[in-house]
Structure 1
Amino acid sequence: MLWIILILLLFIFQAATILLCEYKRPSKSIAWLSILFIFPIIGFFMYYFIAREYVRRKKVHGHSGEISLDHKLQGAPYQVILDTRNDEGSFLSGEQRLRDWLRQVPRAPITKWNRVDVLTNADVTYEAMLEEIGKAQDHIHFEFYTIRDDAIGRKFQEALIAKAKAGVTVRVIYDGVGSHSLSTAYITSLKRAGIAVEPFLKPLIAFFDKRLNYRNHRKIVVVDGLVGFVGGINIGNEYVGGDPKLGFWRDTHIMLHGDAVYDLQRTFLTDWFFVSGESLGEKRYYPAHSEGEPSFVQVISSGPDARWDAIQEMYFAGLIAAKNRIWITTPYFIPDPSITMALKSAAISGVDVRVILPFKADSLIVQYASKSYLQELLQVGVRVYLYRKGFIHAKVIIVDDLMATVGTANMDMRSFYSNFELNAVMFDPRVISRLESDFVMDLEACSEVVLSEFEMRSLGEKRKERIARLLSPLF
């Protein structure tokens, strides 16, 4: 009898610990409690090592908090941000609430002088990146969630090595989980050429330091502090259709010139400080640029080290500001309750809400979890489309003609709360129109989900969806 009481007390202690640590995230609490019920003790061991709150760790405070005290990384000396006296009339006119919220995002100034080029798919993106890398004179900063040792990876490897041998400073960050298959030989060849290479948490280190659940999902290229890239595309053959299962890969990236590049630079240097301990803030990393046309851009970073869930809150602020349309493209759709309610409220009030999701999935559990949200959205008028040409990996949201965002964050809880992400928010009608054209093009390769047909799926399918949704905060 005594041992039964002890086991019960141990279980109560484990459950209480999860509830107290995850009180801000009820869905995550339920997911981990489910794991604990299914796998007693082992479930708590898993939680302790991979899911405890990242922001509470003293060491990790140094990732954003400590470096923000370094005045050298506060911003570029030449950067022009929104002038409240002169620019408000032309910026989000009539949307004071949204404008005021965006201006409060920490370390994310709304910049004025920019040029934005939308890059559709990886072949165009890789060509532009390699061209700019080839032009580099001073430095190249290269950060990706996934870098593969394949044909595409070796193209970039050769380009970076060539510039390093020519005297250009090259720094590379890769995520230890996303790039777990990257070969030692690949990394060694970069280092031998004089390139500084650092992982953002190797899997084994992350496990024992209890941070395996947190990944650097950012994709950043900055060349000479004057041109930058951000979006959904990593470095690998699959992005040019090399995955036989997924086939054609549809994605979106952007190339930036101007003030917003300084914020990409600052994000990279913040990450570099975290992985290497080296603080870099010289003016060479923030050179003067010559962009003379106004195009407002805001670069927003988020991660489990921050007090704000900045990208999730930006998505929510944009959704509730919509009057005419919300068009979303995302490969992973696991919205939290606030985003779900914002989408439903918009659709009920007559806003044209459309969501493009992949028909083919690279993760079955995520696909089933995504399907679990569809019926309630379809019932209130949200239109859902499944992309059938291949795999769609773009992360794009268009709100009216007010704003559009492209970046690394999916519309799922991992991107909102667990990953380090980076998005660019753009307010230029020309850029929004260009993204709109891509969205319309993608619709032609989609089939629409019909509510009456979707409701007829089997009981087994519905059970899979419920289980996947229950566990989805962990994936």
Structure 2
Amino acid sequence: MNYLLDNFWWFLLALNYLLVFITAGYELMHFREPVKSISLIFALFVLPGIGLAVYYFFAQEFRKSKLFNRKKLYDQEIIKHWDKKLILAEKDLLNYKNECVEKKIKLVHLLQNNQSKPVTFKNKVKILLNGEKKFASLFEDLKNAKDHIHLEYYIFNSGLLGNRLIVHLCEKADEGVKVRVSYDYVVSNLSSAAIKKMKAHGIEIYPFMPVWFPNLTRKLNYRNHRKMVIIDGNIGYVGGINICDEYVNFEENPKDKMFWRDTHLRLEGHAVKSLQVQFILNFNFISGKELKIEDTFFPKIAPTKKIGVQIAASGPDTDWQNIMEAIFTAINTAEKSIYITTPYFIPNNQILTALCTASRIGIEVKMIIPEIGDSKIARYATNSYIEQLLESGVQVYQYQKGMVHAKTMVVDGMLSSIGSCNLDNRSFDINFEINAIIYDSEIALEMTKIYKDDLKHCRELTLEEWLQRPAAEKVREALARLWAPLL
């Protein structure tokens, strides 16, 4: 016993490295991206104890695992029943004479083959800039709800905005409207009083994958990053804006609050059916019940504008990285221009190579990122990629008015993407995400005008200037980049 006590730390270190070798072997046998595996194995070996903790809590992958099997069973039943009704045959696609769809037909086929997600045409689309416009529109639609309200949010916080929303939801529930709410357990800050109030009014509310030890390792890393609402099956909201005071530029906000620039989308029409499917799948998963499908969930849609919209959803429950592949395809099939706004640019090799290559073959590639951002390590990791972008001719702009949190892309004046997905590994491979892909030149023109207006509040970076940044910044960027696959 004395020998053990005298050599306690040596035994502990030996045990650590025994586990490290076992874990490293396990990691290698899973055939992940080499860069990601190297980063993980590096952390395991050079950070005794900490490396194992990081791997245990953050780095394990459960794509196609038993954790999501039940959800995938729901997927099969519901998607077969509803999405196939909306998928158009090739001849029907051509009959719509939508030039944008014809030009971007490869992307249409990709999403249909990957996840049976149809391109729909009977849609109205409204772009909503910033939280104040999004919530003014949403609150008005909530007042007019007749049958059901479905909300699914990454962040749902108590506060000025959250409490206003809860009042609206409780009032509608009292009127007989069925209200269902999903919020992410890890990042949301709903008070117990707020939850009790909603339940008392008959609102069904469930957290997404609560983290209780010992299940922490399986659940902490996979979060529901989506922000969407479905009202009566014919109005939908999707985009980047959470239910949080920080996201809204209200007059009553503190004067020192950072201006928040974000983009959301209001949809009417057949595309809302795809949003509805995704909500039902998630709600079944988190509630442990199978929600009875009502006809009112998928009502008949009156003829509206013929705007092509396709919903791309991805997560660890999908066989493919659907949104990443959609972005990759959009970049690789671009002919003239690519305009991107993202709060976090920590790409995989595919997206980075696609952007740099597009620029070098003469396509105009512009990217807006925050100058400061809301995460130091993410900012340094993002900055570590800027030199390579600038060397390839990509025009990089830092937004200076405040925090730019929009996740948008406009390609060739024909295709627009608005949703929850950042250009980073976490959004591509780990979190549950959802984007709306819009095939319409008028919407693309509106998005381009918005983009050019945002550029007025940006500073363009030059390669000469960027190379002169302080050495300390370069060191921070290098260290942050090592952790990039885990961010």
Residue aligned with 2:359, SS = helix
* 1:301-316 correspondence to structure 2 within 5 Å: 301-316=313-328
**Which residue of the other structure, out of 142, 167, 191, is the alignment partner of 1:133?**
142
- Does residue 449 (structure 1) correspond to residue 461 (structure 2)? The answer is yes
Q: CA shift at 1:166, angstroms?
A: 0.8
Query: Could you say which residue in structure 2 is the equivalent of 1:435?
Result: 447
- Does residue 171 (structure 1) correspond to residue 180 (structure 2)? The answer is yes
* 1:363-382 correspondence to structure 2 within 5 Å: 363-382=375-394
Q: CA shift at 1:41, angstroms?
A: 3.8
Letter of the structure 2 residue corresponding to residue 29 of structure 1: S
Contact 1:50–1:211 under 8 Å retained in 2? no
TM-score, structure 1 normalization: 0.94
* 1:13-162 correspondence to structure 2 within 5 Å: 13-21=22-30, 23-63=31-71, 65-71=72-78, 74-75=81-82, 80-88=86-94, 89-91=97-99, 92-162=101-171
Residue aligned with 2:150, SS = strand
In the alignment of these two chains, the number of paired residues is 471
Residue aligned with 2:212, SS = helix
Relative to 1, partners in 2 of residues 1:443 and 1:206: Cα closer, same or farther, differing over 3 Å?
farther
Q: CA shift at 1:74, angstroms?
A: 3.3
Query: Could you say which residue in structure 2 is the equivalent of 1:252?
Result: 263
When the two chains are superposed, the root-mean-square deviation of aligned CA atoms in Å is 2.1
Tell me the distance in 1 between the aligned counterparts of 2:422 and 2:315: 13
Name the % identity.
Answer: 37
Relative to 1, partners in 2 of residues 1:244 and 1:11: Cα closer, same or farther, differing over 3 Å?
farther
Residue aligned with 1:230, SS = strand
TM-score, structure 2 normalization: 0.92
Relative to 1, partners in 2 of residues 1:355 and 1:206: Cα closer, same or farther, differing over 3 Å?
farther
Residue aligned with 1:317, SS = helix
Relative to 1, partners in 2 of residues 1:83 and 1:6: Cα closer, same or farther, differing over 3 Å?
closer
Tell me the distance in 2 between the aligned counterparts of 1:43 and 1:399: 41
Tell me the distance in 1 between the aligned counterparts of 2:452 and 2:17: 57
Tell me the distance in 2 between the aligned counterparts of 1:269 and 1:375: 43
Query: Could you say which residue in structure 2 is the equivalent of 1:300?
Result: 312
Residue aligned with 1:385, SS = strand
Tell me the distance in 2 between the aligned counterparts of 1:99 and 1:298: 8
Tell me the distance in 1 between the aligned counterparts of 2:453 and 2:163: 32
Query: Could you say which residue in structure 2 is the equivalent of 1:325?
Result: 337
Q: CA shift at 1:244, angstroms?
A: 6.4
Letter of the structure 2 residue corresponding to residue 166 of structure 1: E
Q: What whole-Å deviation, never above 9, does each CA across 1:400-449 have from its counterpart, x for those lacking one?
A: 02311000001111100010000000001111111111101100010101
Residue aligned with 1:365, SS = helix
Contact 2:20–2:52 under 8 Å retained in 1? no
Q: CA shift at 1:287, angstroms?
A: 0.7
Structure 2: runs of 5 or more not aligned: 1-6
Tell me the distance in 1 between the aligned counterparts of 2:156 and 2:248: 14
**Which residue of the other structure, out of 277, 285, 288, is the alignment partner of 1:274?**
285
Contact 1:303–1:420 under 8 Å retained in 2? yes
Structure 1: runs of 5 or more not aligned: none
Q: CA shift at 1:73, angstroms?
A: 6.7
Q: CA shift at 1:279, angstroms?
A: 2.0
Contact 1:51–1:210 under 8 Å retained in 2? no
Letter of the structure 1 residue corresponding to residue 75 of structure 2: S
Tell me the distance in 1 between the aligned counterparts of 2:14 and 2:232: 65
Q: What whole-Å deviation, never above 9, does each CA across 1:123-160 have from its counterpart, x for those lacking one?
A: 11001111111111110001100011110000100000
Relative to 1, partners in 2 of residues 1:227 and 1:415: Cα closer, same or farther, differing over 3 Å?
same
